């Protein structure tokens, strides 16, 4: 295991390339379990991938390997911050350094990545990309860029402009991504809709395929599904860091790459405002689609002459509002309850029929949203927090919820306690969605376990 004091990673531009200087660990595509051609190949894309988008993915992959291969001095929380876009934890103000938020002292990284235009990337790295990674992980990042010796080759598929996407959205099989896809699929005035999914855990597939089938059944618009293999590092005998907080940037880069190849200027990364903004009661930072990290990500893309902007279309909606909109678009209650919106690792629980743990932040917000929209939630969760002894370790999130809901209001100071808001962002609508979400959670607390499915 690399010492956190000397965590320097050199992404190899070509096989067997040697880092310039001592103290570097060379990494490349072979450090992931997935075949390279399944990650960066054409993948049913209708156009070529521009160089800047490949550079963004290469940088995100290098940072993700560094994040996973260096353990924190003190173990952080279990891996996973939700199935929605990116699923990554975020921390304080984009400053790049934070202690304790991710479970230990800040680590220090230097990562060298080959790119098509090093000068552009150097200009973007200091003011934008390093703070973005710092916000996601709570660590200190230095990015170095060098010239890519040659562009990766891409075998193009036969062109078919009738299949070219007019909209692109992240699609995890979770409640938010399904709700947004249902709303867009019902709009017959637009051309093909491309949904980008990430295949990392088998239980995710059990939830994603039924969700995709439900969207296609709405009819009226061509809907394509692009499943990009997940990025699982090879341990090489090491114990991987579990927090994996940089995963959000990796997933965003994979989806941005697809949107760029389809020549679509906007990538929708849907996550309800309750989860995107982060709830202090749960002790989890906001996600990459919080306004501030998203602002930094879009700034990086602009700085390297990219053409895709990432937006969270559900930022001002609660989970309950997302559910009601999905029902109005034609989905039924059963389709909503088959989704996977859990922050815990599904692979650690038995059977394909139980994939949501029922205890984490994602599950509690999900429960409250379904109760708000349907009057009940009959999802077969792994457990119910109100059935556990008060001192049970798995009931911590539920215990933290009550005092937070008893607070008289959520203020503007609370909203920016961890992260600032981008320029020209109005706080009032964000405060409103937090308060509406708190009311949905209060209703859950009052109703449990009368109208909520238990274990």
| Cα separation of the two ends of the chain | 39
Task: Round to whole Å and give the CA distance between 194 and 44.
Answer: 11
197 in the same domain as 167: yes
345 in the same domain as 331: no
Q: State residue 99's pLDDT score.
A: 33
128 in the same domain as 26: yes
Domain that residue 203 falls in: 1-151+162-336
In a domain, 454, yes or no: no
Q: CA 342, 347, 353, 354 torsion: positive or negative?
A: negative
Task: Round to whole Å and give the CA distance between 439 and 373.
Answer: 13
In a domain, 255, yes or no: yes
Residues of the chain by 3-state class (helix, strand, coil), percent to 5: 40, 10, 45
373 in the same domain as 297: no
* In contact, 146 and 118? CB cutoff 8 Å: yes
DSSP states of 272-334: -HHHHH--GGGT----TTSHHHHHHHHHHHHHTT---EEE-TTTT--HHHHHHHHHHTT--HH
From residue 126, alpha-carbon distances to 110, 119, 232, 256, 420 in Å are 12, 12, 28, 21, 18
Query: Residue-wise pLDDT tens for the chain (455 aa)?
Result: 444 476 999 999 998 898 988 899 999 999 998 888 888 887 888 889 999 999 999 999 999 999 999 998 864 444 433 333 333 322 222 223 333 345 568 899 999 999 999 999 999 988 999 999 999 898 999 999 999 998 776 666 656 778 899 999 999 889 999 999 999 998 888 899 999 998 865 555 667 888 999 999 997 789 999 998 878 898 888 789 988 889 999 999 999 999 999 999 999 999 999 999 986 666 666 689 999 999 999 999 999 999 999 999 999 999 999 999 999 999 999 999 999 888 775 555 555 565 788 998 999 999 999 999 999 999 988 889 999 988 898 888 898 888 889 888 888 888 888 889 999 999 999 999 999 999 999 999 988 866 565 55
Q: Which of 317, 336, 355 is the C-terminal boundary of a domain? A: 336
Q: State residue 83's pLDDT score.
A: 36
Q: Which of 336, 360, 388 is the C-terminal boundary of a domain? A: 336
247 in the same domain as 359: no
Q: State residue 353's pLDDT score.
A: 63
86 in the same domain as 10: yes
31 in the same domain as 125: yes
In a domain, 156, yes or no: no
Nearest CA to 130 out of 287, 249, 24, 19 is that of: 249
313 in the same domain as 268: yes
> Please, is 289 exposed, middle or buried when counting C-beta atoms within 10 Å of its C-beta (0-12, 13-18, 19+)?
buried
Task: Round to whole Å and give the CA distance between 384 and 399.
Answer: 12
Domain count, the chain: 2
* In contact, 230 and 34? CB cutoff 8 Å: yes
Q: Which of 277, 310, 336 is the C-terminal boundary of a domain? A: 336
DSSP states of 90-139: --GGGTS--SSTTSSSPPEEEEEEEES-HHHHHHHIIIIIHHHHHHHHSS
58 in the same domain as 181: yes
Q: Could you tell me the strand order of the sheet in which 167-170 lies?
A: 223-229, 193-199, 167-170, 266-268, 309-311
Helical axes 202-217 vs 175-185, angle rounded to 10°: 20
Q: State residue 409's pLDDT score.
A: 83
In a domain, 135, yes or no: yes
* In contact, 50 and 219? CB cutoff 8 Å: no
In a domain, 341, yes or no: yes
Q: Cβ contacts of residue 391 below 8 Å, gap of 6+?
A: none
In a domain, 455, yes or no: no
Other C-beta atoms closer than 10 Å to the C-beta of 297 total: 26
In a domain, 157, yes or no: no
| Residues facing residue 111 across a β-bridge | 9, 143
In a domain, 453, yes or no: no
* In contact, 72 and 65? CB cutoff 8 Å: no
349 in the same domain as 313: no
404 in the same domain as 300: no
The dihedral formed by the CA atoms of 86, 91, 97 and 101, expressed in degrees to the nearest 10: -110
188 in the same domain as 42: yes
pTM of the model: 0.89
**CA 364 to centroid of chain Cα atoms:** 18
């Amino acid at each position: 295991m690399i010492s956190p004091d000397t965590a320097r990673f050199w992404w190899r531009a070509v096989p067997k390339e040697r880092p310039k200087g001592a103290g570097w660990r060379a990494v490349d595509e072979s450090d992931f379990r997935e075949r390279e051609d399944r990650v960066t190949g054409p993948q049913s894309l209708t156009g070529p991938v521009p160089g800047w988008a490949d550079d963004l993915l290469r940088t995100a992959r290098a940072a993700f390997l560094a994040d996973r291969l260096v353990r924190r001095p003190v173990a952080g929380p279990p891996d996973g911050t939700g199935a929605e876009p990116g699923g990554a934890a975020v921390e304080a103000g984009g400053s790049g350094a934070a202690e304790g938020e991710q479970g230990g002292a800040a680590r220090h990284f230097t990562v060298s990545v080959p790119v098509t235009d090093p000068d552009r990337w150097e200009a973007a790295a200091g003011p934008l990309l390093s703070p973005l990674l710092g916000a996601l992980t709570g660590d200190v990042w230095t990015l170095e860029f060098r010239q890519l010796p040659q562009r990766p080759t891409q075998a193009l598929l036969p062109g078919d402009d009738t299949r070219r996407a007019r909209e692109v959205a992240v699609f995890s099989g979770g409640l938010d991504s399904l709700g947004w896809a249902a709303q867009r699929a019902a709009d017959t005035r637009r051309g093909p809709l491309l949904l980008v999914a990430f295949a990392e855990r088998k239980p995710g597939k059990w939830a994603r395929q039924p969700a995709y089938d439900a969207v296609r059944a709405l009819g009226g618009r061509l809907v394509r599904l692009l499943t990009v293999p997940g990025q699982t590092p090879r341990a090489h005998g090491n114990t991987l860091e579990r927090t994996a907080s940089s995963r959000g940037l990796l997933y965003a880069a994979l989806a941005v790459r697809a949107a760029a190849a389809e020549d679509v200027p906007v990538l929708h990364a849907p996550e309800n405002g309750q989860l995107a903004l982060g709830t202090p009661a749960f002790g989890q930072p906001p996600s990459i689609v919080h306004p501030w990290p998203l602002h930094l990500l879009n700034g990086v893309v602009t700085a390297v002459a990219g053409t895709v902007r990432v937006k969270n279309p559900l930022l001002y909606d609660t989970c309950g509002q997302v559910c009601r909109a999905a029902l109005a678009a034609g989905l039924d209650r059963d389709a909503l309850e088959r989704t996977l919106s859990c922050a815990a690792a599904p692979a650690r629980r038995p059977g394909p029929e139980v994939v949501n743990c029922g205890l984490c932040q994602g599950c509690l917000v999900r429960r409250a949203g379904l109760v708000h929209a349907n009057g009940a939630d009959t999802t077969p969760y792994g457990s119910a927090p109100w059935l556990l002894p008060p001192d049970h370790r798995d009931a911590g999130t539920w215990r933290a919820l009550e005092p937070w809901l008893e607070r008289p209001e959520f203020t503007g100071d609370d909203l920016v306690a961890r992260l600032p808001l981008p320029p020209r962002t109005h706080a009032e609508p964000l405060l409103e969605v937090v308060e509406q979400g708190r009311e949905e959670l209060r209703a859950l607390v009052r109703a449990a376990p009368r109208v909520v499915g238990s274990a």
